[in-house]
Structure 1
Amino acid sequence: MPSSLTDLPVELLLDNLLPIVPLSDLGNLAATNRTLAVVCADDTFWRRKCQIDFNFTSSETARTSGWRTLYRGLFRPRIFVWGERANGRLGVESVPSQAGGGVPYPIEVKIPGRRIVSLVAGGMSFNALDSNGMMYVWGTLNGEGHAWTTDGFAERYKTAKVPHQLVLPLPIRTISCGRLHTLAMDAKHQVWTFCNWGRPFKLVSPLVDCHAPDTTPVQVEAGWGFSSILTQAGDVLVYWQSSGIMGRRVHEKMEQLNEQEETKAHATEEHKIPCWTWDLEEDPFRLPAIPELPHLPNTGLSEEKLKEQTKLIKIASFDNNLIGLTNKGHLLKYYGLDNENMFTGARWEYLSKFSDVAELARHPVFNDDDNPSEAPKTMHITHITAHFQTFVAYSTGASSIVLVGNMDTGPLSDPDVPSSLQNRSVISVVLGDYHKGALTSSGKLLTWGAFSEGALGLGDPRKLPLGTPGGYRSQQALDSARRRDHIPEPPSVEEPAEVRFDMDGREAGRKYAFAATAGGWHSGALVLSLEVRLVYIPECSSSDSLSVNLYRSAAGKG
């Protein structure tokens, strides 16, 4: 019979006891002795609490630590967006006065009373999830046409100038955006497709049967113009929601529903959109199984992991192409995704130079006589992302590797290895049309690429010092820009530069970005403040003192 809590197995404490301890008592428990302080600081425990208490899984990032700090910040997360302002995509009633078509620095979007834990950019919009799984949208899902003021959100061209809540049957767990459509997976792993915000349809098919483990969806990925699903068995399913047979069925249903006033999804005064949901019974196309793949050396995986069946665990979709990642770190590309000619030249290709550390070591960047970089000794790619014409594969940890490919990348292609992103603890890479961003485990957001009406978020180039990333390179160009009634395009940013979230000068204190997104010509981030007052407790080390204070702050005890 154990005489104290410290006599109990650690697993029992973490899995069974601590989860039911009120948050207000965790700080007191951690302060009793060093052992309990260490147990209460366990990252796995706080990661689980982030998911249970806030619906925050961080599935779109490679975060492996810092969960207790994040838990505290999730009580008051903040939304920042920047870039192109057309189509209402910045989600604020009054956009700061700018000489141009965008806002080149972060501005805050507020959704009163809601804790936003996920932010995803569409082609001309933003989508967000709160801690209860409620979905919010702003901007225009499809900005290629016009909607009348009297139209409801069954019209795909309708603009939400400020955040609107979608009233859906079940809480949403994940969102993915293409250029003109959105996919969502709900709490029951059911897949929803949004060709407009007012009439999403649920895909019904034996291939996505949530009652059978192998056919249960685990990820949804919206490509540039198509949709894709990864199942628990590792199968990949694709469909075209706006063309072909399915596109015609969707159009016919929309035409039928247009005859009924109650299905037009007019927003309420409280900025809620009562969605008219419907089921589409249609089988998506199942891609062929992946080919037999070679053993990868020096991945750092355990023998137990290496013995597991090799299967796809992540997908990333872009323009008529799809990237797949296996549990062993193999990267594959599926070529020829064409709704009209699915069987013409379509195939999986293994990208060995993105997967095998021995092959990567032969890359020119690691063999440059004038400026050689040190090749990695081990590598296990764990995350992928894709958008438009670009894809990125990366690993985790302080020695993280970031590899970039494009539409033309094939089995013999070398990846682009941006030296400024290697070994930076990158946990997320986000892609717009012509700009990119990387989020680090320390909460820094780095951006590079084209200005794109301010999508980099580095500041007004007319106010930045010469030579500053995002600014002009000559006094002549700067003087010319200051005389114009719009912002001339400054040079592209080649090296990643840090985005600041206090450019208005009104707020002090360091900001910590814990999620980022990009799409089209705009970007966004979820941010928290890191203003922590340390409390010294003799029984704990300095780092444990910080942990205890985090628990007390989260509980409102100061």
Structure 2
Amino acid sequence: MHSPTLASIPPEVLTDNILLRLPLRDLIAISACDKYLAILCNSDALWQRKLRLDYDFTVPRDRPLENVSLKTVYQRIGSPRLFVWKCEHITHPVPSHRDFCELKVDRRVVSLVATHSAFYALDDEGKLYAWGEKVHWRRLLTYKFPFGSEVLPVHIKLPTPIRAISCGSIWITAIDTFSHVWFIPDWKQAYRIVNPMLEQLSSEAQVAQVESGWRFIAILTRSGELHVVQPRSGIPNPGQNLELNGSIIWNTPLRLATMPPLPNLPAINVGEEEALSPKLVKIAASEATIIGLTDQGHVLQLSIPVAVGESILFEALECGKIQWEYLPFLSEVEKVRTDPMYSPPETEFEKMDPWTQHVTRFSRVFGRCPPPPYGFLQMPPRIVPTPPCILKISEIFISDNDICAYSTGPSSTILIGSTGMRASDRAEVFPAHQNRPVAHFARTEHTAAFLTPQGKIMGWERTARGKYADEPSMMTIPDSTKGWLFLSITAAGCHFSGLAIEWEELDADTTNAYESASEDEGDD
């Protein structure tokens, strides 16, 4: 009878229960003992789990960092950098320092969120930091981030570590490591929302996502149920309530919005998932709208009329007067393929560029060619993108009054709708956005950008006519000769931001120094 060896243990058991628990010094040593163990110790599966366990950094499911070893990401994520660009100068080859700044904090940042007036970041210990200014919503249209000057971070103190945040126009909401939901009206106060139903969900770690609307907070559970909270009517007086570690417990009612029956979408991956009923897995919120995404790619909208009062709002939700509406033009590939942008020009006039069309119209009316207007640039003919063969929306968000739904991968489809759109309304398809290698997409009113699978940020500026350039420009770091690998991007208002790490090949001295530091860590 052969004695058991490490090679006889299933690789997933060996990775999750042994290798993941070893100090870095022992992990490096054991990888040099056996070829099989070396393969496991250098696998992305192991380092993806260590990134989550040690730094609370989650690699997206579709693994956007192509051709990048997650072990190398782990080596360098200890000192990430936060960069901010002004939107109207996103396509400049070398942006000036007046249009660019770096957000500095002596912490290991793993998540970044943008608002119109500030940026919020979470570090690997669950601490929350902010840059900029927490402004009232009435000033949002005139406020811009203070470029050209050093912006110091503000530590927003909470009694428990935070694992996710959502920033609205008036307040911030957060989920801590115990699945408790927090309401943060400003940078000095935090209230934990307490309700019997919510407490039960928290005890079972069932709170999956929280989103901040202008008049409500939306809470999504792991089972796909949506709960709506109205914070304004229940904000407590700090002097009259029980304090818990500097924060105040707050009781408020919850209401549930149920999902309607949905059509079957063409299955991309055959498996058990397609045989089950669609489940809500992601949400996004704005002033009076909640957008939902199912695990099968359905996009839904829950519109809340602005005229509805606070007391009537929850009564209408409870009675079923406000219901989800399915948006097929943001979900179904057959509907998307019928968009006119995917149809080639049929007449010679349609094949002309915009200036030639203008000349032709003018000549037909006046019998002569018009003078070129000041500032008018001749444009190339309209691009006809290749329509998608398959489509499964994987990400959604709301930017100002626009709904953004897109698929990720080497040939992405990006669809833009509007809040309040109906089931019969078409989505807007920008040809320049289609069929790009997109890991993450971000958008403001005048600018759009995407993170590539290689960790680069590409962006477009929008012209006064609402068009985008055919080809995006790569966003650069002023006066930097180093290579950068961007891990995430975020955008709001008039600015974009990216979380990046230095990306230059490690030489022998750097590798030896890292392994020496790992050995020192193991001795501690």
Both structures adopt the same fold (TM-score exceeding 0.5): yes
The Cα of 1:532 is off from its aligned counterpart by 1.7
Residue 13 of structure 1: aligned partner: 14
C-alpha displacement of 1:326 = 0.7
- Give the CA deviation at 1:164: 1.8
Report the Cα distance in structure 1 between the residues aligned to 2:499 and 2:22, rounded to whole angstroms: 28
Code of the residue aligned with 1:410 in structure 2: it is R
Q: CA deviation at 1:32?
A: 5.0
The 8 Å contact of residues 440 and 451 in structure 2, kept in 1 or not, is answered as yes
Secondary structure of 2:282's partner?
strand
Structure 1 residue 76 corresponds to structure 2 residue 79? yes
1:388 and 2:388 correspond: no
- SS of 1:209's partner is helix
* Cα pair distance change 1:352/1:214, threshold 3 Å: farther
- Classify 1:255/1:353 alpha carbon distance in 2 versus 1 (closer, same or farther; 3 Å): same
- Aligned-pair CA distance for 1:346: 2.8
Query: Residues of 1 paired with 2:122 and 2:207: CA distance?
Result: 19
Runs of 4+ off more than 6 Å: 59-62, 212-215, 489-492, 548-551
Q: Tell whether the 8 Å contact from 1:183 to 1:194 is kept in structure 2 after alignment.
A: yes
Which amino acid in 1 is paired with 2:333?
V
Partner of 1:121: 114
Name which of structure 1's ranges 353-362 and 208-217 shifts more when overlaid on structure 2. Answer: 208-217
One-letter amino acid matched to 1:104: D
C-alpha RMSD of matched pairs (Å)? 3.6
What is the alpha-carbon distance in structure 1 between the residues aligned to residue 471 and residue 340 of structure 2?
A: 21
CA gap of 1:443–1:235, structure 2 versus 1, over 3 A, is same
| Cα distance in 2 between the residues matched to 1:359 and 1:41 | 44
Measure the CA separation in 1 of the matches of 2:185 and 2:40.
Answer: 47
Amino acid of the residue matched to residue 84 of structure 2? Answer: V
Q: Distance in 2 between matches of 1:374 and 1:25?
A: 51
Please show how residues 212-291 of structure 1 align to structure 2 within 5 Å.
216-242=206-232, 246=233, 249-250=234-235, 253=237, 276-287=246-257, 289-291=258-260
8 Å contact from structure 2 (residues 158, 190) kept in 1: no
Matches within 5 A, 1:55-454: 55-58=56-59, 63=64, 66=68, 67-83=70-86, 103-105=98-100, 107-112=101-106, 114-143=107-136, 162-211=152-201, 216-242=206-232, 246=233, 249-250=234-235, 253=237, 276-287=246-257, 289-297=258-266, 299-338=267-306, 340=309, 341-342=312-313, 343=316, 346-369=322-345, 372-449=384-461
Q: CA deviation at 1:393?
A: 1.4
- Which range is displaced more, 176-185 or 419-428? 419-428
C-alpha displacement of 1:213: 7.4
Could you say what secondary structure the match of 2:405 adopts? strand
From the two aligned structures, give the one with the greater helix fraction.
2
Separation (CA, whole Å) in 1 of partners of 2:430 and 2:46: 35
Q: CA deviation at 1:229?
A: 1.1
Q: Deviations over 1:323-356 (max 9, x none)?
A: 1011111111112254515339632111122222
C-alpha deviation, 1:28, in angstroms = 4.4
Q: Secondary structure at the match of 1:195?
A: strand
Aligned-partner SS, 1:6: helix
Partner of 2:361: none
- The amino acid of 1:515's aligned partner reads S
Rounded to whole Å, the distance in 1 between the matches of 2:432 and 2:226 is 34
**What is the CA-CA distance between 1:83 and the residue it aligns to?**
3.3
Determine the C-alpha separation between the residues in 2 that align with 1:3 and 1:185: 44
| Mapped partners of 1:384, 1:333: distance in 2 | 11
Q: Deviations over 1:302-336 (max 9, x none)?
A: 32111233210100112311110111111111122
Cα distance in 2 for residues equivalent to 1:124 and 1:60:
30
The amino acid across from 1:436 in the alignment is A
CA distance in 2 between partners of 1:25 and 1:18 (Å): 9
In the alignment, residue 251 of structure 2 is paired with which amino acid? E
Asked if the contact 2:230–2:252 (Cα under 8 Å) also holds between the matched residues in 1, the reply is no
Residues in 2 aligned to 1:208 and 1:321: alpha-carbon distance in whole angstroms: 22
Counterpart Cα distance in 2 of 1:550 and 1:300:
46
- Cα separation, partners in 2 of 1:208 and 1:449, compared to 1, 3 Å: farther
Q: For 2:394 and 2:330, how far apart are their aligned partners in 1?
A: 12
Distance 1:363 1:433, change over 3 A: closer
Are 1:39 and 2:53 an aligned pair?
Answer: no
Q: Could you tell me whether the CA contact under 8 Å between 1:83 and 1:522 is conserved in 2?
A: yes
* Residues 50 and 423 of structure 1, relative CA distance in 2, 3 Å threshold: farther
Asked whether the 8 Å contact 2:282–2:292 carries over to 1, the reply is yes
What is the CA-CA distance between 1:188 and the residue it aligns to?
Answer: 0.7
In 1, Cα distance between equivalents of 2:179 and 2:411: 34
Q: Which stretch shifts more, 377-386 or 341-350?
A: 341-350
Is the 2:120–2:129 contact (alpha carbons within 8 Å) kept by the matching residues of 1?
A: yes
CA distance in 2, matches of 1:490, 1:365: 16
Q: Measure the CA separation in 1 of the matches of 2:190 and 2:96.
A: 36
Q: Which amino acid aligns with 1:186?
A: D
Deviation at 1:404, TM superposition (A): 1.7
Amino acid of the structure 2 residue aligned with 1:353: F
Relative to structure 1, the CA distance from residue 55 to residue 292 in structure 2 (aligned partners, 3 Å threshold; closer, same or farther) is: same
Structure 1 residue 520 and structure 2 residue 510: aligned?
no
Per the TM alignment, residue 51 of structure 1 is displaced from its structure 2 partner at its CA by 0.9
- How far apart are 1:376 and its partner, in Å? 2.2
Equivalent position SS for 2:324: strand
Secondary structure, counterpart of 2:17 in structure 1: helix
Given residue 519 of structure 1, which amino acid in structure 2 is its aligned partner? A
CA displacement at 1:283 relative to structure 2: 1.2
- CA drift at 1:438: 1.8
Q: Could you tell me which amino acid in structure 1 is paired with residue 19 of structure 2?
A: L
Distance 1:493 1:361, change over 3 A: closer
Residue 529 of structure 1 and its aligned partner are, at CA, apart by 0.8
Question: Contact conserved, 2:65 with 2:455, CA < 8 A, in 1?
Answer: no
3-state SS in 1 of match to 2:228: strand
TM-score for the superposition, normalised by structure 1: 0.72
Cα pair 1:224 1:388 within 8 Å, conserved:
no
Aligned residues: 455
C-alpha change, 1:417 and 1:37, in structure 2 (3 Å) is: farther
**Residues 59-89 of structure 1: per-residue CA shift (max 9 Å, x gap):** 69974764334322311111112339xxxxx
Q: Residue 208 of structure 1 contacts residue 215 of structure 1 at CA under 8 Å; is this kept in 2?
A: no
DSSP-derived class of the 1:420 partner: helix
Alpha-carbon distance in 2 for matches of 1:551, 1:365: 52
1:519: Cα distance to partner?
A: 1.8
- Long gaps (5+) in structure 2: 88-94, 140-149, 346-350, 352-382
